[in-house]
Structure 1
């Protein structure tokens, strides 16, 4: 596709994940900074994302929201970047597994813990992620199988789930385990991750001043 990529974001949001993914993809894109409050909840933007939240991506006539979905879409739209295993390959299953593990159990368990929601042990079967400790143990196992979630191959799953681990360590919402720290440090050193952080960090004063 040759249609323009338009990225709707705010530097103080999960949009930082998509910025990193866009930098990994290496295709030109235009950024639209959305302010929190009325700009994000207004009719113009809600025509893009009815949730009134960022990030969102517009690629020609295609609109994609939700970080994991955007990462997966970009990986498939620009296969030359090598950020997703080929459909039908043995790595495709683990790739999907960790993308959706990030969007489901990781996101839910970390958010619930941060908000002080405690799942009673006898009700854990009702909860999709079981328990916070289950999720942490599973993540630790995942990041110790190799340099990346797919072993020696970096993918969009590392962008999405790796960003969550990095934030969890930074803000104290995840347990500070050596395996998490080593993995987060490794992927944060990628040139695209560094560029993405520099871009969003440079936008922060602009947002505060506005």
Structure 2
């Protein structure tokens, strides 16, 4: 079956999140690997797709979607047979935690990695308040026996799970039993394993001496 999804990525980027979601969806897709330079993400051709000049992005049936969380939500709706979104009347936790991870958690982790600390008494101006508050709330979200939306694995688990998995792997999240348990369940998913294998092979190839 010909692919009607084109996936723009770099394996050393948040493109790993979008690939994981694509593997969960199970539809054929074409991968375009871009470097970070003027001939890749900053090229005129790619900037016409994403003016931010960053990956990931997908083009599906002529429609462009950027931002990893949006790609996850879009693909879940575009391919409902994959069962990656709850019924529309049961999406409160789905939307809540998907966008919490994409907003406050992403900002809190990035700012800490950059050495930025919210000045004392100014936490109301930051969408995440403080790093500790955001991470405690993330812990609450994943302190569940199965998945964000109960027994159904969804696109929210792909995005939240990627944040947790990455954070534990690279030390940007503290090690806590709830995070470890959630990550261990995610790492057993066949689509997660396929994504790691595919992106791992690309990274190895990119690191080979020219």
TM-score normalised by L of structure 2: 0.95
How far apart are 1:151 and its partner, in Å?
1.8
Look up the match of 2:29.
29
For residues 132-159 of structure 1, the C-alpha deviation after alignment (integer angstroms, 9 at most, x for no partner) is: 1111111111111331111221100000
For 2:201 and 2:37, the matched residues in 1 are separated by: 21
For 1:168 and 1:37, the matched residues in 2 are separated by: 26
Look up the match of 1:85.
86
How far apart are 1:3 and its partner, in Å?
7.0
Q: Which runs of 4+ in 1 moved over 4 A?
A: none
2:93 alignment partner, SS class = helix
Look up the match of 1:48.
49
For 1:40 and 1:17, the matched residues in 2 are separated by: 18
Look up the match of 2:96.
97
Look up the match of 2:159.
160
Counterparts of residues 175-186 of structure 1 (less than 5 Å): 175-186=174-185
Aligned length: 207
For 1:179 and 1:197, the matched residues in 2 are separated by: 22
Look up the match of 1:208.
207
1:153 alignment partner, SS class = coil
Look up the match of 2:60.
59
Look up the match of 1:9.
9
Please give the root-mean-square deviation of Cα atoms over the aligned residues, in Å: 1.3
8 Å CA contact 2:11–2:200 kept in 1: the answer is: yes
Unaligned runs of 5+ in 2: none
For 1:52 and 1:127, the matched residues in 2 are separated by: 26
8 Å CA contact 1:10–1:55 kept in 2: the answer is: yes
TM-score normalised by L of structure 1: 0.95
For 1:128 and 1:12, the matched residues in 2 are separated by: 27
